[in-house]
Structure 1
């Protein structure tokens, strides 16, 4: 499973693969970035962490949207 992050930088909101410095996409607003990331990750098995301005996880989403990383099947 791949891990991605949306984070706020001096250049706006950015989507990156966790542990990689390469910016996959930038946007002016968090909502624009979440919308892009949802489309980008739709066909992947991934976890998307949305970080707040302090770098803390504000929201965590799994893709495909029905995926459950805990493996409980719930």
Structure 2
């Protein structure tokens, strides 16, 4: 998976939340709430062909991640058949 298909949802020092590409100097998007930033990050990654969204907490540490289809999930759910 290329870096182009990953986005991080991070707190903005001036308030709100940013969606950022790893290594990028500017935000891909800025929102007032974390939920809005997560939705926008999923949209951006989905439009780019799928990939990973990493969600950071207020402390800046990664607290969750989400694979957006058609990205390859490194830990897919087990088949319950």
Coarse TM-score class (shorter-chain normalised):
0.7 to 0.9
1:55 alignment counterpart: 60
Q: Is the 8 A contact 2:11 2:17 kept in 1?
A: yes
2:50 matches 1:37: no
TM-score, scaled relative to structure 1 = 0.79
Q: Is the 8 A contact 2:54 2:65 kept in 1?
A: yes
Gapped regions of structure 2 (runs ≥ 5): none
Report which of the two has the higher share of helix.
Answer: 2
TM-score, scaled relative to structure 2 = 0.73
2:1 matches 1:3: no
Gapped regions of structure 1 (runs ≥ 5): none
Report which of the two has the higher share of strand.
Answer: 1
